[in-house]
Amino acid sequence: MASGSQLEAIKGAKVLMVGAGGIGCELLKTLALSGFQDIHIIDMDTIEVSNLNRQFLFRQCHVGQSKAKVARDAVLKFRPHINITPYHANVKDPEFNVEFFKQFNVVLNGLDNLDARRHVNRLCLAAEVPLVESGTTGFLGQVTVHVKGKTECYECQPKPTPKTYPVCTITSTPSKFVHCIVWAKDLLFAKLFGDKNQENDLNVRSNDGTNLTAPTEDVFERRTDEDPEQYARKIYDHVFGYNIEIALANEETWKNRNKPRPLYVRDVLPDNLIQQNGSLENCVTEESVVSSMLSLGLKNPQDIWSLSENSRIFLEALRLFIEKRQKDVGNLTFDKDDQLAVEFVTAAANIRASSFGISLHSLFEAKGIAGNIVHAVATTNAIIAGLIVIEAIKILQGDFENCRMTYCLEHPSRKMLLMPVQPFEANKSCYVCSETPLILEINTRTSKLRDFVEKIAKNKLGMNSPMIMHGSTLIFEAGDDLEEDVAANYALNIDKALAELPAPVTSGTVLTVEDLRQELSCNINIKHREEFDEEKEPDGLVLVGWIAPTQKDTRLVSNGESTSTAHPAVTEMVENSDEVGIAPAKPGTKRKLSEMSEITDNVHDITPRSSRDVNDQVNPQEVEDDNDDVDDDIVILDENPETRKKKRLQ
């Protein structure tokens, strides 16, 4: 039973929720039932069929509608007298600026990608509003508290490059080639050649969430009178043509995205090529390996096939599975050492990539992309949502001393599945919340301003609208509201070498890089360097005082979860396979920054170790999830440049 002071704090609070997916649905419900009266929700996504197994506020009839708006309507049915304001928009839109954030008492994140998390972290710092972060992956979860001046910020520890992908991104709005690989391997290949009775997010009848006329039969079932070529063409037309047309019917999804192009066999391959599409006599290698490449006379795995060649490989590989490996069909799982499977997945991924305007890749490159599906667990989302609300109430009461970062473990540690840890102090070398400048080693004679903008300001520093100043001279500014003559002037300079700019950038120059929307400012000392190791320093530059992110395995996750790193914890815990185990500490104790520097940060990104490691001691970590499309970004974390308050963009 809540105390009088708790009820007073709850009823008087104005709360911002960012994300209305797996965690967000549970969080909104818990906030409403806990007595919160004024809740605002931001989410740019629309509801997909694959969301319905865990995002319980949504139903089949809601497919294609705004998550934020439907979530609001669902909760108002059982809490009609509270105020819920939905925003079907991207939290990175200009309207959600620092002034917008200042109106709230606390911000609660249920995001699925690193880029958006970093953006919200910076806005909360600038607005001086407490932030409660969260994330889940399978049975693992975490909640962390970030209060300016009292705890570390979200970016005080390096985050691994996110390599987990939400189901809705994979099935509906891919933006990277890896999304297409995961779709081809974990969805299409599994549906065609694995257990046909297993649950699958592929649209088998193309009638989900639309009013369009759809086939009445399961297109993945091969009829007895259907020869392999006919069946292969039917599958091609269904997954690359018909399903894309169905997706295009939801205009809301494509308002801010490039529309995909439906592809049909008749449009890609002439009839004569389809009829000549391979020879059964020439499809087996000397090692008795069935290969569609061999059948079609394609030899070099490092060649990037054209759309026509990918289509022929797709049709031929599917035919060969039926005619040469029929006994395997129904029991197959993807194996990177299975030549025919790799050929099929590469071709399918490239065809889908072509449809969505994504660059094609070679078989050699595609083979190197691997991952495992991590299924969302609704119970984990519910637990994490409850913990978020508990921490939010502490913050609203000003009880910062009792705030805790809590990790949800898969296996009990010291008889506990929930592991509370006292928040950590700010990292004094964090360039986001501290004041330590960075040093950039770069060849100022050959490196262009574009390299600095893309690789440093946007990629490494995570700025969306960077402004670059050399003393009092503005040498670059990004934004849609620039006057034509100003934009034209920047366009003239963008491909000039740094040393050839009107205000030359040479060794010893100090550049100030700012993002006014994030109210983030960073000083970078330039140090000229002639040569770089192509293998160890492929970007041709080195940012000193910035901790490079660690790499994670690729895997598929469901909406509403997360991907990140974690902090030192307390005891044994199953974590990312590439994480270093840390000696357990007593619950509730603080660690020194030096001890924390090698630990990961969000439970969202926690990945179970192999079975032999399950009992090894490790540190609890944070997890994150699904995104907007926000994608796998690089995380940065290190020394902080000097921050200065600037006039905000209007």
In whole angstroms, give the CA distance from residue 352 to residue 241.
10
Work out whether the CA dihedral 431, 434, 436, 437 comes out positive or negative: positive
124 is in an annotated binding site: no
Three-state SS annotation for 59-75: CHHHCCCEHHHHHHHHH
396 is in an annotated binding site: no
Task: Give CA separation, 616 vs 5, 520, 553, 572, 594, in Å.
Answer: 43, 40, 20, 6, 23
22 is in an annotated binding site: yes
378 is in an annotated binding site: no
149 is in an annotated binding site: no
61 is in an annotated binding site: no
Rg (CA), the chain: 26
Task: Please choose, from the candidates 49, 48, 31, 52, the residue with its C-alpha nearest in 3D space to the C-alpha of residue 40.
Answer: 31
Question: Going by C-beta distance under 8 Å and a sequence separation of 6 or more, which residues neighbour residue 214?
Answer: 205, 206, 207, 246
54 is in an annotated binding site: yes
How many C-beta atoms lie closer than 10 Å to residue 4's C-beta? 7
526 is in an annotated binding site: no
Distance of CA 370 to the CA centre of its chain: 16
In whole angstroms, give the CA distance from residue 369 to residue 354.
18
430 is in an annotated binding site: yes
Question: Going by C-beta distance under 8 Å and a sequence separation of 6 or more, which residues neighbour residue 558?
Answer: 22, 50, 51, 54, 166, 167, 375, 376, 625, 626
153 is in an annotated binding site: yes
In whole angstroms, give the CA distance from residue 95 to residue 129.
17
Sheet holding 38-42, edge to edge: 83-87, 38-42, 14-18, 106-109, 131-137, 140-146, 405-413, 416-421
Question: Going by C-beta distance under 8 Å and a sequence separation of 6 or more, which residues neighbour residue 83?
Answer: 37, 38, 39
24 is in an annotated binding site: yes
DSSP state letters, 414-436: TTEEEEEEPPPPPPTT-TTTS-P
312 is in an annotated binding site: no
Active site positions, annotated: 168
Given a contact cutoff of 8 angstroms between Cβ atoms, the answer to whether 647 and 516 are in contact is yes
**Given the DSSP bridges, would you call strands 546-547 and 140-146 parallel, antiparallel or unpaired?**
unpaired
Given a contact cutoff of 8 angstroms between Cβ atoms, the answer to whether 90 and 628 are in contact is yes
By three-state DSSP, how is residue 176 classified? Answer: coil
114 is in an annotated binding site: yes
Question: Going by C-beta distance under 8 Å and a sequence separation of 6 or more, which residues neighbour residue 81?
Answer: none
155's tokens: 């970016």
Q: Return the exposure string of 191-223: e unless at least 16 CB atoms fall within 10 Å of the residue's CB, then b.
A: bbbbeeeeebbbbbebebbbeeeeeeeebbebe
502's tokens: 């009107």
Task: Please choose, from the candidates 604, 605, 572, 608, the residue with its C-alpha nearest in 3D space to the C-alpha of residue 587.
Answer: 572
Among the residues of 237-276, which ranges form H helices?
A: 243-248, 265-268, 271-275
451 is in an annotated binding site: no
In whole angstroms, give the CA distance from residue 374 to residue 579.
18
Given a contact cutoff of 8 angstroms between Cβ atoms, the answer to whether 329 and 190 are in contact is no
Binding residues: 19-24, 43, 51-54, 67, 112-117, 153, 156, 430, 433
Binding residues for Zn(2+): 153, 156, 430, 433
Binding residues for ATP: 19-24, 43, 51-54, 67, 112-117
